[in-house]
Amino acid sequence: MTQTKGRASLEYSNPPRIIGAASIVGSKEGDGPLGHLFDHIEQDSKFGKNTWEEAESELQLQTAKKAMEKAGMNEEQIRYLFAGDLLAQGIATSYGLMELQIPLFGLYGACSTCGESLSLASMTVNAGYAEYAMAVTSSHFASAEKEFRFPLEYAGQRPLSTTWTVTGSGAFVLASKESAAARESSVCITGITTGKVVDYGVKDSMHMGAAMAPAAADAIYQHLMDYGRTPEDYDQIITGDLGSIGQTILKDLMLERGIDLDNVHDDCGILIFDSDTQDTHAGGSGCGCAAATLAAYILPKLERGEWKRVLLVPTGALLSKVSFNEGQSIPGIAHGVVLEHC
Amino acid sequence: MTQTKGRASLEYSNPPRIIGAASIVGSKEGDGPLGHLFDHIEQDSKFGKNTWEEAESELQLQTAKKAMEKAGMNEEQIRYLFAGDLLAQGIATSYGLMELQIPLFGLYGACSTCGESLSLASMTVNAGYAEYAMAVTSSHFASAEKEFRFPLEYAGQRPLSTTWTVTGSGAFVLASKESAAARESSVCITGITTGKVVDYGVKDSMHMGAAMAPAAADAIYQHLMDYGRTPEDYDQIITGDLGSIGQTILKDLMLERGIDLDNVHDDCGILIFDSDTQDTHAGGSGCGCAAATLAAYILPKLERGEWKRVLLVPTGALLSKVSFNEGQSIPGIAHGVVLEHC
C-alpha cells in the first residue's frame, strides 16, 4: 500500500474528512471582506484577559471548542491535538489548549503551521492512529508585533511591503473515513506535500512576502511534479500569507519554471483584508490568516461543491527577533494540503 | 489493523528500526560520566561560528550528518525530518538543517522534543509514509541561558534546584522494517505514549524538575495503563531531564498512584553529569540531554541486548521568558517512547 508520491508528497488511501471547522477573529478581520463568514468576531482584543499572550491562548481555546461543538464532539473523543502559534516556545498553544487535556504534538512552522498541523493530523487519521484528531493554529496582531517587531506604543511607520498579522484562529476536526461522523462532511484531505526550508537571502522583516514566496514556489512546483498535475487540475491554488507583493514574486518564480498561476492563484492574506480601505498594505499574515480563511471561506466552498479541488499552501517565514538582530536572512517554508469535495 | 492502545498510546504493527544514531556534545558534557560514549566532543563552544545560535545550528547539522553517515545514508534518501530545539521560533533547527533540503516538520515540546520527534518519525515510518526518516534535537547551554534566563556575563548564582542545559544534540535515522538497511539494527521503536500538558502551578524557572515531574508521572502512568504493564516489564524507565530533585518528586507522585519506580528509574539529566564534581546542581537538562544520552548510552545497551525493553520519557517545561515574566506557571509535557531489542 504505497501512498508516497515522488520526493515529498503523500496520496492517502483513506482520505480523512474535515467534520468540524471553526474560525474566530478580531474586529479588524471582522471589518474585512470575509467578515460575514467567521464564526465569531471578538470586539475585545484582549479576549477578556490581561496580556496579549493570554488573549491569544483564550482565542485558540475558544476556537478549538467551537470546532468540536460544530463537529458534535467533546475533548474525550479527540485522540490527538496538533497545534502551534508564532510566539516564542509556542506559549499561546501550551497555555491555551492545556484545559482540553488532549495528547498534544506542539508544532512550529511559522505561518505555515496551519499546513503542518493539517498534514500531521491527516497522516495520523489516514494511518488509523486516531478516529478523530484536531489541528489548531492562531496568531494575534499585538502579541506578534511584540514578539517580532516594535512595541505598539512606538507607533512605527509601516513600509508598504509589510503585512498585517491577523488576530485569528482556525481549528479543524478530522475524522477517519470509517467513523460515524465522517458521513456528515463532504470535504476531505486527499494528500499533502511537505516543504523544505528555502532561503533566497531576504533580510527585511518588513517584507515577509518576498521571504516566503520562494518556499511557496518550491512547494507548489514539487507538488505538481510529485502528482504529475498542472494548475488546471485545481479550482484554486491558495497560499497562506504572501500578500500582494509576494503573490507577484510567486507568479514570476513559477513562470520561470514554465508554470502559469495567473487564473488559479489566490492568497489568504489578500482575501482577508481590503488593503485599500483597511491600511493593511500588502495584506494579512500570521498563523491565523490561512487557518481562519480556510475555515470560513475555503472549506464552505468545497463543502458546497463550488470547488472540487483546492491546493492550500500555508507559508511561513522562519525568523526570530534574535536571528533578525544578528543579521541572518529570513528563510521560508510552505506545506501543501490537497482539499477535495468528496 | 488497530494499533491504538488505550487513551494515548500506539503499538506498532511494523516497528521502525533505529539504524543510525549520533551524539555530539560540548566539553563539559565530554568531561562527564558518559564522555567516552559520545561520537564527538567539541572543544569550541561556538562550533566555529560567531553567535551562540549559529553554534547550536552547526551542532545540529553536524549531528544529523553524523547520524546519516553511521546509517550509511545521504540526505536524498531521508524522506522526512522531524526536528526542534529550545530557541524562540526554533531557529537552531531552521537555520541548522536548511542545508540538508529534506522536507521538514518543525516541532516544539521544550525538552520533550526528542520524544515528540521520535514519536512522529516512528508513526510516519510505521505507516509506510517513508522508508527512512530522521529525528533531530539540540540544546546549547549559552543560547538557552540567553533565551530563558540571564546574560552569562551577569554570573548569577544558581540555586541548588537548577539544572544545567546540556550543549548537545542527538540525531536518529529510522528505517522501515522492510528496508534493506533495517537488518543492520537490532533496536526498534515498538510504540509510543503521547503526553498532554500538565500544570501543578510551579512558577520557579530555577526548579524545572519540579515543573516537569507531574507530566512525567502522568505519561508513565498513562503508558502503563494503556499497555496493561508494570514497571517490572521494563529494564529501565528513563526520563529526560528531571534531575535529582525532580526524580524524587516523580517517585513520590508514582507511589501515590501505587507504582514503585525505585529499582527501574533513571534520568538522562542525572546520567550525563557528575553533579558532585561538575557543579551542575540537580543535573543536566535541555533538548540535547535526552537526545545525546539516548544515542550514546541507551541505544548501545539495547543494541547489545543488555537491556531488552526501555521506556524513554523525555520531559519538557513549557515556559517562555515572556510567560515567566508575566507571572504564569510552568506547565510540563512528556512523551513516552518504547525502545526494544529486536
Is the Cβ–Cβ distance between A247 and A73 less than 8 Å?
A: no
Q: And the C-alpha cell for A96?
A: 491555551
CA end-to-end span of chain B = 21
The whole-chain average pLDDT of chain B stands at 96
Put simply, the chain A residues between 264 and 323 with a CB less than 8 A from any chain B CB are 318-323
Structure ipTM = 0.97
- Cα A145 to the center of its chain, rounded Å: 18
| Full-model pTM | 0.98
**For chain B, how big is the Rg over CA atoms in Å?**
18
Gap from A15 CA to chain B (nearest CA, Å): 14
Q: And the C-alpha cell for A106?
A: 506542539
Put simply, the chain A residues between 88 and 147 with a CB less than 8 A from any chain B CB are 88-91, 94-95, 97-98, 101-110, 116, 119-120, 123-124, 126-130, 147
Put simply, the chain A residues between 7 and 26 with a CB less than 8 A from any chain B CB are 7-8, 10
pLDDT digit string (tens) for chain B, length 342 residues: 569 999 999 999 999 999 999 999 999 999 999 999 999 999 999 999 999 999 999 999 999 999 999 999 999 999 999 999 999 999 999 999 999 999 999 999 999 999 999 999 999 999 999 999 999 999 999 999 999 988 888 888 899 999 999 999 999 999 999 998 888 899 999 999 999 999 999 999 899 999 999 999 999 999 999 999 999 999 999 999 999 999 999 999 999 999 999 999 999 999 999 999 999 999 999 999 999 999 999 999 999 999 999 999 999 999 999 999 999 999 999 999 999 999
| Placement of cell 517512547 in the chain | B337
| A155 vs A262: which has the higher pLDDT | A262
Contacts of B195 in chain A (CB under 8 A): 103-104
Whether A1 contacts chain B with CB within 8 A: yes
Q: And the C-alpha cell for B269?
A: 539529566
Say which amino acid occupies A132: Y
Contacts of B2 in chain A (CB under 8 A): 128
Q: How many CB atoms lie within 10 A of CB B263?
A: 8
Q: How many CB atoms lie within 10 A of CB A340?
A: 18
Mind listing the pLDDT tens digit for each residue in A43-97? 999 999 999 999 999 999 999 999 999 999 999 999 999 999 999 999 999 999 9
pLDDT at A155 exceeding the cut of 90: no
- Cα A290 to the center of its chain, rounded Å: 4
Please report, for chain B, how many H helices and E strands are present, in that order. Answer: 12, 17
pLDDT at A110 exceeding the cut of 80: yes
**Phi-psi category of residue A341: left, alpha or beta, with phi > 0 → left and psi -120 to 50 → alpha:** beta
Please say whether the dihedral angle defined by the alpha carbons of residues A292, A293, A298 and A304, taken in this order, is positive or negative: positive
| Placement of cell 533538548 in the chain | B287
C-alpha to C-alpha distance for B192 and B135, rounded to whole angstroms = 15
Nearest to B133 by CA among B100, B167, B94, B168: B100
Encode burial over A161-184: b for 16+ CB neighbours within 10 A, e otherwise.
bbbbbbbbbbbbbbbbbebebbee
Mind listing the pLDDT tens digit for each residue in B74-98? 999 999 999 999 999 999 999 999 9
